[in-house]
Amino acid sequence: MPRITGNGTTEGLEAIVEANRGKPGDLLTILEQAQQQDPRKYLSESTLRYISTQLQVPLSRVYSVATFYSFFSLKPQGSHVIVVCRGTACHTRGSLALLNEALARLGIREFREEEENAVTSPDSFATVRTVACFGQCALAPVIMIDGKVMSRMTVGKLVAILEKLRKGGGV
Partner 1 sequence: MAGNEITITIDGRNVAVDPSLTIVEACATAGIKIPTLCYLKNVSQNASCGVCVVEVEGAKSLVRSCVQKPTPGMVIKTFSPRVIRARRTAVELLLANHPTDCLSCIRSGTCELRQLADTLGVKADRYPKYKKFSPPDNSSEGIVRDDSKCILCGRCVAVCAETQTVHAIAFTSRGARTRVGTFMDRGLAQSSCVQCGQCSVVCPTAAIAEKDESREVFGALGDPALTVVVQTAPAIRASLGEALGLPPGSLVTGQMVAALRRLGFTRVFDTQFTADLTIMEEGSELLERLQKGGTLPMITSCSPGWINFIEAFYPDLLGHLSTCKSPQQMFGSVAKTYYAQKAGIAPDTMRVVSIMPCTAKKYEARRPEMDAAWDWWKEHDADRVPPRPFYDVDWALTTRELARMIRMAGIDIASLQEEDFDDPLGRSTGAATIFGTTGGVMEAALRTVYEIVEQKPLASLEFTQVRGLESIKTAEVPVGGIKVRVAVAHGLSNARVLLDEIRAGRSPYHFIEIMSCPGGCIGGGGQPVLADLERKQARNQALYREDQRLAIRKSHENPAVEALYREFLGKPLGHLSHELLHTSYRPRPF
Query: Where on the chain is the footprint of partner 1 (CB under 8 A)?
Result: 3, 45, 48, 58-64, 67-70, 74, 114-115, 132
Min CB(67)–partner 1 separation in Å: 5
Q: How far apart are CA 44 and CA 34, in angstroms?
A: 10
- Minimum Å gap between C-beta 111 and partner 1 is 15
| Strands 126-131 and 80-85, bridge-based pairing | parallel
CB hemisphere CA count around 8 (13 angstroms) = 4
Do strands 118-120 and 148-150 pair parallel, antiparallel, or not at all (unpaired)? unpaired
Identify the three-state secondary structure at position 91: helix
Nearest-approach distance from CB 130 to partner 1, in angstroms: 11
Question: Which residues have a Cβ under 8 Å from the Cβ of 62 and sit 6 or more positions away?
Answer: 27, 31, 48, 51, 52, 55
Instruction: State the Cα–Cα distance between residues 142 and 119, nearest whole angstrom.
Output: 19
Considering the complex, state which of residue 18 and residue 70 has its C-beta at the smaller distance from partner 1: 70
Least distance to partner 1 from the beta carbon of 135, Å? 15
* 18-to-27, 41, 55, 106, 167 alpha-carbon distances in Å: 12, 20, 10, 39, 39
Q: Give 106 or 118: the residue with its C-beta nearer to partner 1.
A: 118
Computed over its alpha carbons, how large is the radius of gyration of the chain? 17
In the complex, the smallest distance separating the C-beta of residue 5 from partner 1, rounded to whole angstroms, is 13
